[in-house]
Amino acid sequence: MIGSGHLVSGRYRLDKPIGSGGMATVWRARDEVTGQDVALKRMHARVQDDPDLIERFRREAEVVARLSHPAVVRLFDEGADEDGPYIVFELVEGTNLKALIRSRGALSPELAASITSQVARGLEVAHRSGVVHRDIKSHNVLVADDGTAKLTDFGIARLLDGDQGGLTRTGTVLGTSDYLAPEQARGLRVDGRTDVYSLGIVVYECLTGQLPFPADTPMGVAQRQVRDPMPDPRDVQPGIPPHLASVVLRACEKDPAARFGSALEMSDALLDVPVDATGVMPVIAATESDDVTGALAVTPESVVPLDDGDTQSRPVVPPAAPPSTPAVEPAAHVAEDEPPRHPDAEVFVAQSSGRRRVWPGAVAALLIVALAGVGAFIVWRGSGSDAGNVVTQAASSASQPTAPPTDVMGAMGPLQLASVKDVDPGGEGREMSGEVPLAYDGNEETAWRTERYVTADFGGVDKAGVGLEFTLQQPSVATRMNLITKGTGGTFEVLAGPPATDARVVGEGTFGNGRQSVDLTPGAASGIYTLWITSLPPNILGSGYRAYVAEASFDGTVPQG
């Protein structure tokens, strides 16, 4: 009989079970090769003769192996031995979101937005990889002690680019009724908007402490998902910010076409500064309690840390997150804690017993930053994976000098920008898009920021960097980049052209707190220059790492002719 001390495939020594469902048991284990603690999911012997369940178990490893994102639990290994198949995941120290809500009731709007926006970004990566999760629920969100959220349990995920082996054919209903999208409840085809609906239910649950469609049976719940309009969470909690209520109502539209077009769009609506505020997604003004240091204005963080002294755990399923308050970083590796209550619950959490101190202050739901001295802006939200938001200046500002007059073309002078966009080719394709204008608005007290990361190397995610791509009015030879940054540390390069493996590096430097000029190596004229951040400085407004660029401009020459 398998028990503590058992060695799996001669490598993983089992410690103790931390969750069990109808299909598998998850163990805390030690990798004898690396010395790392892991979560090992072992399929029950009693179901190993069911070919559909074997296929589902195998498919889970295949799905997670496709995904690399701080908000998605990582796959370390998979295999089989004399006791059957197993999957090895990262271990998350924390609890699951369902357990957190059970212990605390409704979460603060800041914490609810932080956790669910992280999950939405993880979902965006999954959807772009051709994966629909189909079982988004609070049980399947692991929340680490530092407030980092991770999506887990891809056991019934659907791959959109291949045969489903009959496991997900039209007419088959898989999922959890409390979070089931109408099309899913009706056995129709699903796509990324199906997950968006389910995540909207999770946001509602976080904000109100309850589910929107109670009924006596799962079938009754599913029928209400199809038939009943989504209730406004403010009917339960009147103090919920209007923009978060709007996120819930839009995400949970019965018609998929009326929902957010992507999980990333939903994440932006939860946390980012809206660049195209409408009646559906109103902009909420900043307040005195917003996370602001000195005169530096910032928008909400992508993560909120655990509150002081609450480490309620529940062995299985995904970990839950902390109470309200501060903001933290967006990605870190964690281990779960709470024995499973849901049959096919995935990763498990090892609850931490200590009390963790959190950063004081709460993150504003949405922060409007005045664009001082900026004229009219035309905003285009790109649809491509790396498009980001391109902000084209329609009127000059204090920070954007006009192009040199015709009679001095060829002489050294300020170079005029045509547009600026954020670039994150190794991540979700965008990096705080709504704040891009703050990097050249003429106001040194506002700044574009990267997302917040757990480590200087972007949380260990496989990405070379992030940054800002500047398109000039016409190809020019830039000889100097002028920067005003906040914080000290981290490194960057200046590229002639967009980020690419063969990009020409014309300058490099480190972030300093204040003004600096970086001399650039002259070369062929280029219409694009990129500030490419290769490592991050310590965050000036809390824990983690992130870069702040308050102002950026270029000097150089425009070739005559």
Q: How far apart are CA 332 and CA 543, in angstroms?
A: 12
CB atoms within 10 A of CB 512: 16
Q: How many angstroms separate the CA atoms of 157 and 176, rounded?
A: 13
Residue whose token pair is 């069990």: 20
Q: Please choose, from the candidates 129, 116, 115, the residue with its C-alpha nearest in 3D space to the C-alpha of residue 385.
A: 129
Give the tokens for residue 553. 């401009």
Do 339 and 16 meet the contact criterion of CB atoms below 8 Å apart?
Answer: no
Q: From CA 47, how far away is CA 53, in angstroms rounded?
A: 7
**Cα–Cα distance for residue pair 334/330, rounded to 1 Å:** 12
Rounded to the nearest 10°, the torsion over CA 124, 158, 88, 177 is 90
Q: SS3 of 207, please?
A: helix
User: Among residues 65, 63, 62, 19, which one has the least CA distance to residue 42?
Assistant: 19
Contact (CB, 8 A) for 377 and 419 = no
Residue 195 DSSP class: H
> Which residues have a Cβ under 8 Å from the Cβ of 123 and sit 6 or more positions away?
133, 136, 151, 192, 195, 196, 199, 263
The contacts of residue 510 (CB under 8 Å, 6+ apart) are 488, 489, 490, 491, 492
How far apart CA 519 and CA 505 sit, in angstroms, is 12
Catalytic residues: 135
Counting Cα atoms < 13 Å in the Cβ hemisphere of 97 gives 33
Whether 94 contacts 144, CB under 8 Å: yes
**Dihedral, 116, 117, 122, 127 alpha carbons, nearest 10:** 100
Burial class (CB in 10 A: 0-12, 13-18, 19+), 497: middle
- The amino acid at residue 370 is A
